[in-house]
Protein backbone atom coordinates (compact mmCIF):
# COMPACT_ATOMS: atom_id res chain seq x y z
CA UNK A 1 0.00 0.00 0.00
CA UNK A 2 1.51 3.39 -0.98
CA UNK A 3 2.71 5.58 1.88
CA UNK A 4 4.94 8.32 0.48
CA UNK A 5 3.03 10.98 -1.54
CA UNK A 6 5.55 10.53 -4.36
CA UNK A 7 3.90 7.15 -4.93
CA UNK A 8 0.48 8.61 -5.67
CA UNK A 9 0.46 12.42 -5.62
CA UNK A 10 3.70 14.05 -6.73
CA UNK A 11 6.10 13.50 -9.59
CA UNK A 12 6.11 12.60 -13.27
CA UNK A 13 6.46 9.09 -14.73
CA UNK A 14 9.52 10.36 -16.63
CA UNK A 15 11.50 11.12 -13.47
CA UNK A 16 10.07 8.31 -11.37
CA UNK A 17 11.15 5.76 -13.98
CA UNK A 18 14.76 6.89 -13.58
CA UNK A 19 14.72 6.09 -9.86
CA UNK A 20 12.52 3.02 -9.69
CA UNK A 21 14.03 -0.28 -8.47
CA UNK A 22 13.96 -1.90 -11.90
CA UNK A 23 15.97 0.96 -13.41
CA UNK A 24 18.54 0.83 -10.63
CA UNK A 25 18.95 -2.89 -11.21
CA UNK A 26 19.24 -2.39 -14.97
CA UNK A 27 21.99 0.19 -14.52
CA UNK A 28 23.89 -2.11 -12.16
CA UNK A 29 23.71 -4.90 -14.72
CA UNK A 30 25.05 -2.55 -17.38
CA UNK A 31 28.00 -1.61 -15.18
CA UNK A 32 28.80 -5.26 -14.45
CA UNK A 33 28.60 -6.02 -18.17
CA UNK A 34 30.87 -3.07 -19.04
CA UNK A 35 33.38 -4.33 -16.48
CA UNK A 36 33.35 -7.79 -18.05
CA UNK A 37 33.76 -6.34 -21.53
CA UNK A 38 36.70 -4.19 -20.47
CA UNK A 39 38.41 -7.14 -18.79
CA UNK A 40 37.81 -9.47 -21.73
CA UNK A 41 39.35 -6.96 -24.13
CA UNK A 42 42.71 -7.26 -22.34
CA UNK A 43 42.44 -11.00 -21.70
CA UNK A 44 41.66 -10.90 -17.97
CA UNK A 45 38.52 -13.02 -18.44
CA UNK A 46 37.35 -15.22 -21.34
CA UNK A 47 35.83 -13.34 -24.25
CA UNK A 48 32.94 -15.85 -24.37
CA UNK A 49 32.12 -15.17 -20.71
CA UNK A 50 31.98 -11.41 -21.31
CA UNK A 51 29.77 -11.92 -24.36
CA UNK A 52 27.33 -14.05 -22.34
CA UNK A 53 27.31 -11.53 -19.50
CA UNK A 54 26.50 -8.78 -22.00
CA UNK A 55 23.74 -10.85 -23.58
CA UNK A 56 22.04 -11.23 -20.19
CA UNK A 57 22.54 -7.67 -18.86
CA UNK A 58 18.83 -7.00 -18.77
CA UNK A 59 16.02 -7.16 -16.23
CA UNK A 60 14.33 -9.30 -18.85
CA UNK A 61 16.65 -12.05 -17.58
CA UNK A 62 17.68 -10.88 -14.10
CA UNK A 63 14.42 -10.46 -12.23
CA UNK A 64 14.05 -7.99 -9.39
CA UNK A 65 11.96 -10.50 -7.44
CA UNK A 66 14.82 -13.02 -7.54
CA UNK A 67 17.35 -10.38 -6.44
CA UNK A 68 15.15 -9.53 -3.46
CA UNK A 69 14.73 -13.20 -2.60
CA UNK A 70 18.49 -13.69 -2.49
CA UNK A 71 18.95 -10.47 -0.50
CA UNK A 72 16.65 -11.73 2.23
CA UNK A 73 19.20 -14.47 2.81
CA UNK A 74 22.48 -12.64 2.11
CA UNK A 75 21.43 -9.26 3.51
CA UNK A 76 23.65 -7.66 0.88
CA UNK A 77 22.18 -5.85 -2.11
CA UNK A 78 25.11 -6.11 -4.54
CA UNK A 79 25.92 -9.74 -3.71
CA UNK A 80 22.27 -10.48 -4.45
CA UNK A 81 22.52 -8.85 -7.85
CA UNK A 82 25.72 -10.73 -8.65
CA UNK A 83 24.21 -14.08 -7.65
CA UNK A 84 20.98 -13.48 -9.56
CA UNK A 85 22.96 -12.36 -12.60
CA UNK A 86 25.22 -15.40 -12.44
CA UNK A 87 22.20 -17.74 -12.27
CA UNK A 88 20.94 -16.67 -15.71
CA UNK A 89 24.32 -16.86 -17.45
CA UNK A 90 25.09 -20.07 -19.29
CA UNK A 91 28.26 -22.10 -18.77
CA UNK A 92 30.70 -20.64 -16.29
CA UNK A 93 30.22 -17.02 -17.40
CA UNK A 94 28.67 -16.19 -14.05
CA UNK A 95 32.00 -16.86 -12.36
CA UNK A 96 33.44 -13.77 -14.06
CA UNK A 97 30.76 -11.30 -12.99
CA UNK A 98 32.06 -8.63 -10.58
CA UNK A 99 35.63 -9.74 -11.26
CA UNK A 100 38.08 -7.58 -9.28
CA UNK A 101 35.55 -4.97 -8.20
CA UNK A 102 33.77 -4.00 -5.00
CA UNK A 103 30.14 -3.12 -4.33
CA UNK A 104 30.44 0.62 -4.64
CA UNK A 105 32.23 0.37 -7.94
CA UNK A 106 28.91 -0.88 -9.20
CA UNK A 107 26.56 1.17 -7.02
CA UNK A 108 28.20 4.56 -7.52
CA UNK A 109 28.78 4.06 -11.24
CA UNK A 110 25.20 2.86 -11.79
CA UNK A 111 23.97 5.80 -9.75
CA UNK A 112 25.96 8.13 -11.99
CA UNK A 113 23.99 6.82 -14.95
CA UNK A 114 20.79 7.64 -13.07
CA UNK A 115 22.04 11.11 -12.18
CA UNK A 116 22.99 11.73 -15.79
CA UNK A 117 19.45 10.90 -16.93
CA UNK A 118 17.84 12.81 -14.07
CA UNK A 119 20.03 15.85 -14.71
CA UNK A 120 19.06 15.86 -18.38
CA UNK A 121 15.36 15.87 -17.48
CA UNK A 122 15.79 18.67 -14.94
CA UNK A 123 17.84 20.73 -17.37
CA UNK A 124 15.17 20.46 -20.03
CA UNK A 125 12.44 21.55 -17.59
CA UNK A 126 14.60 24.42 -16.31
CA UNK A 127 15.17 25.72 -19.81
CA UNK A 128 11.49 25.38 -20.66
CA UNK A 129 10.52 27.43 -17.59
CA UNK A 130 13.24 29.98 -18.34
CA UNK A 131 11.94 30.40 -21.89
CA UNK A 132 8.37 30.74 -20.64
CA UNK A 133 9.46 33.59 -18.37
CA UNK A 134 11.41 35.22 -21.19
CA UNK A 135 8.27 35.17 -23.30
CA UNK A 136 6.31 36.74 -20.45
CA UNK A 137 9.04 39.37 -20.08
CA UNK A 138 8.69 40.33 -23.73
CA UNK A 139 4.90 40.39 -23.57
CA UNK A 140 4.87 42.60 -20.45
CA UNK A 141 7.95 44.70 -21.16
CA UNK A 142 5.97 47.94 -20.97
CA UNK A 143 3.42 47.03 -18.29
CA UNK A 144 4.28 49.58 -15.60
CA UNK A 145 3.70 48.39 -12.06
CA UNK A 146 4.71 49.40 -8.58
CA UNK A 147 8.01 48.11 -7.25
CA UNK A 148 8.04 47.13 -3.60
CA UNK A 149 10.85 47.13 -1.07
CA UNK A 150 10.28 45.97 2.52
CA UNK A 151 6.74 45.18 1.37
CA UNK A 152 6.13 48.90 0.85
CA UNK A 153 5.51 50.81 -2.35
CA UNK A 154 8.85 52.07 -3.71
CA UNK A 155 9.03 53.40 -7.30
CA UNK A 156 7.57 52.13 -10.58
CA UNK A 157 9.05 49.17 -12.44
CA UNK A 158 7.60 46.82 -15.06
CA UNK A 159 6.36 43.28 -15.10
CA UNK A 160 8.84 42.72 -17.90
CA UNK A 161 11.61 43.41 -15.38
CA UNK A 162 10.13 40.93 -12.90
CA UNK A 163 9.83 38.11 -15.41
CA UNK A 164 13.25 38.81 -16.96
CA UNK A 165 14.91 38.86 -13.53
CA UNK A 166 13.54 35.40 -12.74
CA UNK A 167 14.50 34.07 -16.17
CA UNK A 168 18.14 35.11 -15.77
CA UNK A 169 18.32 33.45 -12.36
CA UNK A 170 17.06 30.23 -13.90
CA UNK A 171 19.71 30.51 -16.61
CA UNK A 172 22.40 30.65 -13.92
CA UNK A 173 20.89 27.48 -12.47
CA UNK A 174 21.06 25.84 -15.92
CA UNK A 175 24.79 26.55 -15.93
CA UNK A 176 25.24 25.37 -12.34
CA UNK A 177 23.27 22.17 -12.88
CA UNK A 178 25.14 21.31 -16.07
CA UNK A 179 28.48 21.73 -14.27
CA UNK A 180 27.34 19.80 -11.18
CA UNK A 181 25.91 16.97 -13.28
CA UNK A 182 29.15 16.63 -15.22
CA UNK A 183 31.18 16.44 -12.02
CA UNK A 184 28.79 13.89 -10.54
CA UNK A 185 28.22 11.60 -13.53
CA UNK A 186 31.51 9.70 -13.13
CA UNK A 187 32.55 6.07 -13.20
CA UNK A 188 34.71 4.14 -10.77
CA UNK A 189 36.30 0.69 -10.85
CA UNK A 190 38.92 1.07 -8.14
CA UNK A 191 38.28 -1.75 -5.67
CA UNK A 192 38.01 -2.04 -1.91
CA UNK A 193 39.95 1.08 -0.91
CA UNK A 194 40.60 2.72 -4.27
CA UNK A 195 43.98 1.11 -5.04
CA UNK A 196 42.77 -1.29 -7.80
CA UNK A 197 44.73 -4.07 -6.06
CA UNK A 198 42.28 -6.84 -7.02
CA UNK A 199 42.62 -6.10 -10.73
CA UNK A 200 46.34 -5.44 -10.50
CA UNK A 201 48.53 -3.86 -13.16
CA UNK A 202 45.64 -3.57 -15.60
CA UNK A 203 43.52 -1.67 -13.09
CA UNK A 204 43.78 1.73 -14.71
CA UNK A 205 43.09 0.32 -18.16
CA UNK A 206 39.93 -1.40 -16.95
CA UNK A 207 38.86 1.62 -14.91
CA UNK A 208 39.16 3.96 -17.87
CA UNK A 209 37.61 1.56 -20.36
CA UNK A 210 34.48 1.02 -18.24
CA UNK A 211 33.93 4.78 -18.19
CA UNK A 212 34.38 4.92 -21.94
CA UNK A 213 31.87 2.12 -22.53
CA UNK A 214 29.28 3.77 -20.27
CA UNK A 215 29.88 7.33 -21.47
CA UNK A 216 31.08 8.51 -18.06
CA UNK A 217 34.23 10.30 -16.96
CA UNK A 218 36.43 7.97 -14.84
CA UNK A 219 37.39 9.45 -11.46
CA UNK A 220 41.01 10.46 -11.09
CA UNK A 221 41.16 9.01 -7.58
CA UNK A 222 38.70 7.55 -5.08
CA UNK A 223 38.47 5.67 -1.83
CA UNK A 224 35.91 2.87 -1.79
CA UNK A 225 33.33 5.42 -2.90
CA UNK A 226 33.02 8.35 -5.24
CA UNK A 227 33.66 11.27 -2.93
CA UNK A 228 30.44 12.83 -1.72
CA UNK A 229 31.39 16.44 -2.37
CA UNK A 230 30.15 15.73 -5.90
CA UNK A 231 26.79 14.56 -4.64
CA UNK A 232 26.54 17.40 -2.14
CA UNK A 233 27.16 19.93 -4.90
CA UNK A 234 24.44 18.42 -7.05
CA UNK A 235 21.99 18.39 -4.15
CA UNK A 236 22.91 21.96 -3.27
CA UNK A 237 22.18 23.10 -6.82
CA UNK A 238 18.89 21.19 -6.79
CA UNK A 239 18.02 22.92 -3.51
CA UNK A 240 18.98 26.33 -4.93
CA UNK A 241 16.71 25.77 -7.90
CA UNK A 242 13.90 24.81 -5.54
CA UNK A 243 14.49 27.96 -3.50
CA UNK A 244 14.32 30.11 -6.63
CA UNK A 245 10.98 28.50 -7.43
CA UNK A 246 10.00 29.16 -3.82
CA UNK A 247 10.96 32.83 -4.20
CA UNK A 248 8.99 33.15 -7.41
CA UNK A 249 6.06 31.32 -5.84
CA UNK A 250 6.03 33.67 -2.85
CA UNK A 251 5.99 36.67 -5.21
CA UNK A 252 3.11 35.27 -7.25
CA UNK A 253 1.15 34.38 -4.13
CA UNK A 254 1.74 37.84 -2.68
CA UNK A 255 0.57 39.47 -5.90
CA UNK A 256 -2.55 37.27 -5.78
CA UNK A 257 -3.69 38.62 -2.40
CA UNK A 258 -7.26 39.95 -2.59
CA UNK A 259 -6.07 43.48 -1.78
CA UNK A 260 -3.44 43.40 -4.56
CA UNK A 261 -4.57 40.86 -7.15
CA UNK A 262 -2.15 41.86 -9.88
CA UNK A 263 -1.42 38.22 -10.74
CA UNK A 264 -3.70 35.22 -10.68
CA UNK A 265 -2.97 31.58 -11.36
CA UNK A 266 -5.36 29.53 -13.46
CA UNK A 267 -8.68 28.73 -11.80
CA UNK A 268 -11.39 26.69 -13.51
CA UNK A 269 -14.50 28.42 -12.18
CA UNK A 270 -16.78 25.84 -13.81
CA UNK A 271 -15.71 23.10 -11.40
CA UNK A 272 -12.65 23.96 -9.30
CA UNK A 273 -13.36 24.39 -5.59
CA UNK A 274 -11.29 26.64 -3.35
CA UNK A 275 -12.65 25.71 0.05
CA UNK A 276 -14.87 23.12 1.69
CA UNK A 277 -16.72 25.86 3.55
CA UNK A 278 -16.12 29.16 1.70
CA UNK A 279 -17.58 28.83 -1.82
CA UNK A 280 -15.98 32.05 -3.05
CA UNK A 281 -12.32 31.07 -2.52
CA UNK A 282 -9.81 31.08 -5.40
CA UNK A 283 -6.63 29.97 -3.65
CA UNK A 284 -3.10 30.00 -5.17
CA UNK A 285 -2.72 26.26 -4.61
CA UNK A 286 -0.25 25.65 -7.45
CA UNK A 287 2.34 28.11 -6.19
CA UNK A 288 1.66 27.13 -2.57
CA UNK A 289 2.55 23.55 -3.44
CA UNK A 290 5.74 24.74 -5.12
CA UNK A 291 6.73 26.67 -2.01
CA UNK A 292 5.87 23.81 0.34
CA UNK A 293 7.78 21.09 -1.49
CA UNK A 294 10.81 23.33 -1.94
CA UNK A 295 11.34 23.04 1.82
CA UNK A 296 11.74 19.28 1.61
CA UNK A 297 14.31 19.60 -1.17
CA UNK A 298 16.28 22.17 0.81
CA UNK A 299 16.44 19.96 3.90
CA UNK A 300 17.58 17.00 1.81
CA UNK A 301 20.59 18.99 0.63
CA UNK A 302 21.60 19.61 4.24
CA UNK A 303 21.47 15.86 4.91
CA UNK A 304 23.74 15.16 1.94
CA UNK A 305 26.31 17.61 3.32
CA UNK A 306 26.65 15.24 6.29
CA UNK A 307 27.29 12.38 3.89
CA UNK A 308 30.53 14.03 2.82
CA UNK A 309 31.98 12.96 6.19
CA UNK A 310 32.67 9.20 6.16
CA UNK A 311 35.13 7.17 8.23
CA UNK A 312 38.49 6.69 6.51
CA UNK A 313 38.01 4.97 3.14
CA UNK A 314 34.25 4.73 3.77
CA UNK A 315 31.43 3.64 6.03
CA UNK A 316 27.76 2.97 5.37
CA UNK A 317 26.20 6.03 6.97
CA UNK A 318 25.61 7.67 3.59
CA UNK A 319 23.96 4.65 1.97
CA UNK A 320 20.65 4.49 3.79
CA UNK A 321 19.92 8.22 3.65
CA UNK A 322 20.91 8.53 -0.02
CA UNK A 323 18.36 5.88 -0.96
CA UNK A 324 15.79 8.47 0.15
CA UNK A 325 17.51 11.77 -0.62
CA UNK A 326 18.43 11.38 -4.28
CA UNK A 327 15.18 10.08 -5.75
CA UNK A 328 13.01 12.25 -3.50
CA UNK A 329 14.78 15.49 -4.37
CA UNK A 330 14.91 14.77 -8.10
CA UNK A 331 11.27 13.68 -8.26
CA UNK A 332 10.05 16.65 -6.23
CA UNK A 333 12.10 19.21 -8.15
CA UNK A 334 10.89 17.78 -11.43
CA UNK A 335 7.34 18.00 -10.08
CA UNK A 336 7.53 21.66 -9.00
CA UNK A 337 9.28 22.61 -12.24
CA UNK A 338 6.31 21.14 -14.07
CA UNK A 339 3.92 23.07 -11.83
CA UNK A 340 5.86 26.28 -12.48
CA UNK A 341 5.80 25.79 -16.25
CA UNK A 342 2.05 25.12 -16.26
CA UNK A 343 1.47 27.93 -13.78
CA UNK A 344 3.16 30.59 -15.88
CA UNK A 345 1.61 29.40 -19.12
CA UNK A 346 -1.80 30.12 -17.61
CA UNK A 347 -1.03 33.08 -15.34
CA UNK A 348 -3.05 36.28 -15.69
CA UNK A 349 -1.66 39.79 -15.27
CA UNK A 350 -4.59 41.97 -14.17
CA UNK A 351 -3.52 45.29 -15.66
CA UNK A 352 -6.47 47.21 -14.23
CA UNK A 353 -5.39 46.24 -10.73
CA UNK A 354 -1.78 47.01 -11.59
CA UNK A 355 -2.85 50.54 -12.50
CA UNK A 356 -5.04 50.86 -9.41
CA UNK A 357 -2.12 49.91 -7.17
CA UNK A 358 0.12 52.47 -8.83
CA UNK A 359 -2.35 55.15 -7.73
CA UNK A 360 -2.89 53.74 -4.26
CA UNK A 361 -0.41 55.95 -2.39
CA UNK A 362 -1.55 59.14 -4.10
CA UNK A 363 1.69 60.03 -5.79
CA UNK A 364 4.06 59.18 -2.96
CA UNK A 365 5.88 56.71 -5.21
CA UNK A 366 7.11 59.67 -7.31
CA UNK A 367 8.92 61.37 -4.41
CA UNK A 368 12.31 60.22 -5.69
CA UNK A 369 11.61 61.66 -9.11
CA UNK A 370 10.53 65.00 -7.65
CA UNK A 371 13.70 65.13 -5.54
CA UNK A 372 15.95 64.39 -8.52
CA UNK A 373 14.14 66.87 -10.78
CA UNK A 374 14.44 69.61 -8.16
CA UNK A 375 18.14 68.82 -7.81
CA UNK A 376 18.58 69.07 -11.60
CA UNK A 377 16.92 72.50 -11.53
CA UNK A 378 19.34 73.88 -8.96
CA UNK A 379 18.05 72.83 -5.55
CA UNK A 380 20.71 70.82 -3.71
CA UNK A 381 20.15 67.08 -3.65
CA UNK A 382 20.26 66.87 0.16
CA UNK A 383 18.01 69.91 0.49
CA UNK A 384 15.64 68.44 -2.05
CA UNK A 385 15.49 65.16 -0.19
CA UNK A 386 14.47 66.86 3.05
CA UNK A 387 11.94 69.18 1.40
CA UNK A 388 10.26 66.32 -0.47
CA UNK A 389 10.42 64.04 2.57
CA UNK A 390 8.61 66.65 4.67
CA UNK A 391 5.96 67.06 2.00
CA UNK A 392 5.60 63.29 1.62
CA UNK A 393 5.09 62.79 5.35
CA UNK A 394 2.44 65.54 5.34
CA UNK A 395 0.67 63.97 2.36
CA UNK A 396 0.69 60.61 4.09
CA UNK A 397 -0.65 61.94 7.39
CA UNK A 398 -3.35 64.05 5.74
CA UNK A 399 -4.23 61.39 3.15
CA UNK A 400 -3.67 63.82 0.30
CA UNK A 401 -1.99 63.57 -3.06
CA UNK A 402 1.70 64.45 -2.91
CA UNK A 403 1.39 66.76 -5.89
CA UNK A 404 -1.19 68.90 -4.07
CA UNK A 405 1.04 69.22 -1.03
CA UNK A 406 4.05 70.11 -3.19
CA UNK A 407 2.08 72.85 -4.93
CA UNK A 408 1.56 74.51 -1.53
CA UNK A 409 5.29 74.51 -0.79
CA UNK A 410 6.87 77.82 -1.82
CA UNK A 411 10.38 76.39 -1.80
CA UNK A 412 9.36 73.72 -4.30
CA UNK A 413 7.42 76.13 -6.48
CA UNK A 414 10.45 78.40 -6.77
CA UNK A 415 11.97 75.73 -9.02
CA UNK A 416 8.97 74.23 -10.84
CA UNK A 417 5.52 75.12 -12.12
CA UNK A 418 2.27 73.18 -12.29
CA UNK A 419 3.05 71.78 -15.72
CA UNK A 420 6.40 70.51 -14.45
CA UNK A 421 4.67 68.75 -11.57
CA UNK A 422 2.13 67.15 -13.89
CA UNK A 423 4.99 65.63 -15.89
CA UNK A 424 6.74 64.43 -12.73
CA UNK A 425 3.67 62.38 -11.76
CA UNK A 426 3.41 60.47 -15.02
CA UNK A 427 4.30 56.95 -13.79
CA UNK A 428 4.87 55.58 -17.28
CA UNK A 429 7.79 57.95 -17.85
CA UNK A 430 9.63 56.98 -14.67
CA UNK A 431 10.70 53.44 -15.39
CA UNK A 432 14.25 54.35 -16.29
CA UNK A 433 15.81 51.92 -18.74
CA UNK A 434 13.48 49.04 -17.83
CA UNK A 435 12.40 48.24 -21.43
CA UNK A 436 16.01 48.50 -22.62
CA UNK A 437 17.20 46.24 -19.81
CA UNK A 438 14.59 43.65 -20.73
CA UNK A 439 15.60 43.93 -24.39
CA UNK A 440 19.22 43.30 -23.34
CA UNK A 441 18.14 40.17 -21.48
CA UNK A 442 16.16 38.95 -24.48
CA UNK A 443 19.09 39.66 -26.77
CA UNK A 444 21.55 37.87 -24.48
CA UNK A 445 19.17 34.92 -24.17
CA UNK A 446 19.78 34.12 -27.84
CA UNK A 447 23.21 32.87 -26.74
CA UNK A 448 21.82 30.55 -24.05
| pLDDT per residue as tens digits for the range 234-252 | 999 999 999 999 999 999 9
Q: In the prediction, which pLDDT does 403 show?
A: 96
pLDDT digits (tens, 9 = 90+) for 220-231: 999 999 999 999
- Shared domain check, 317 and 399: no
> Do the domain assignments include residue 274?
no
Q: Is 373 a residue whose pLDDT tops 90?
A: yes
Q: In the prediction, which pLDDT does 276 show?
A: 87
Q: What is the mean pLDDT of residues 183-199?
A: 96
Average per-residue pLDDT for the chain: 96
Q: Which stretch of DSSP H or E encloses residue 221?
A: none
- Shared domain check, 165 and 27: no
- Least confident interval from 135-149, 165-179, 270-284, 368-382: 270-284
The CATH number of the domain holding residue 372 is 1.10.40.30
The CATH number of the domain holding residue 113 is 1.20.200.10
> Do the domain assignments include residue 272?
no
pLDDT digits (tens, 9 = 90+) for 26-57: 999 999 999 999 999 999 999 999 999 999 99
- Distance in Å from the first CA to the final CA of the chain: 45
In whole angstroms, give the CA distance from residue 363 to residue 354: 15
Residue of 4, 76, 275, 376 marked active site: 275
Q: In the prediction, which pLDDT does 2 show?
A: 84
> Do the domain assignments include residue 276?
no
- Shared domain check, 336 and 219: yes
- Shared domain check, 181 and 42: no
> Do the domain assignments include residue 393?
yes
pLDDT interval class at 102 (50, 70, 90)? very high
- Shared domain check, 330 and 199: yes
**Three-state SS annotation for 320-381:** HHHHHHHHHHHHHHHHHHHHHHHHHHCCEECHHHHHHHHHCCCCHHHHHHHHHHHHHCCCCH
Cα R_g (the chain), whole angstroms: 30
Q: Is 361 a residue whose pLDDT tops 90?
A: yes
What residue numbers bound the domain in which 382 lies? 364-424
- Shared domain check, 173 and 78: no
Q: What is the mean pLDDT of residues 276-292?
A: 92
Q: Is 354 a residue whose pLDDT tops 90?
A: yes
Q: In the prediction, which pLDDT does 145 show?
A: 97
pLDDT interval class at 76 (50, 70, 90)? very high
pLDDT digits (tens, 9 = 90+) for 104-160: 999 999 999 999 999 999 999 999 999 999 999 999 999 999 999 999 999 999 999
Q: In the prediction, which pLDDT does 307 show?
A: 94
The single-letter DSSP state of residue 93 is: G
Residue of 76, 80, 103, 150 marked active site: 150
Q: In the prediction, which pLDDT does 267 show?
A: 85
- Shared domain check, 173 and 45: no
Whether residue 396 lies in the annotated active site: no
Last residue of a domain, one of 67, 99, 131: 99
Q: In the prediction, which pLDDT does 261 show?
A: 96
Q: What is the mean pLDDT of residues 60-84?
A: 97
- Shared domain check, 331 and 189: yes
Q: In the prediction, which pLDDT does 139 show?
A: 97
Provide, rounded to the nearest whole percent, the portion of the chain with pLDDT above 70: 100
Q: What is the mean pLDDT of residues 159-173?
A: 98
Let me know: does 350 contact 333? Beta carbons within 8 Å. Answer: no
200 Rama class: left (phi>0) / alpha (psi -120 to 50) / beta: left
255 Rama class: left (phi>0) / alpha (psi -120 to 50) / beta: alpha
Whether residue 223 lies in the annotated active site: no
The reported pTM is 0.95
Amino acid sequence: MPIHPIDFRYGTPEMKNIWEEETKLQKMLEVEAALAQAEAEIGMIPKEAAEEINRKKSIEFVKLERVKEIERATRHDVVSVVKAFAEVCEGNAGEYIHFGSTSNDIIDTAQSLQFKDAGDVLLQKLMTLRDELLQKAEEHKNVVCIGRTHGQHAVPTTYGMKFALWATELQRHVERLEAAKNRLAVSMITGAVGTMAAIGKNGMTVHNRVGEILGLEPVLISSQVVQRDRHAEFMAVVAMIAQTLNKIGVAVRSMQRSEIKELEEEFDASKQTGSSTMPHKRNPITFEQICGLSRVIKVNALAEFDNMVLWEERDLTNSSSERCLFPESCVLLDHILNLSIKGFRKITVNEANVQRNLEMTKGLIMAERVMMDLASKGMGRQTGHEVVRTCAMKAHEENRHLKDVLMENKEVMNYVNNEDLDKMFDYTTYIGLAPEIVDNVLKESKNW
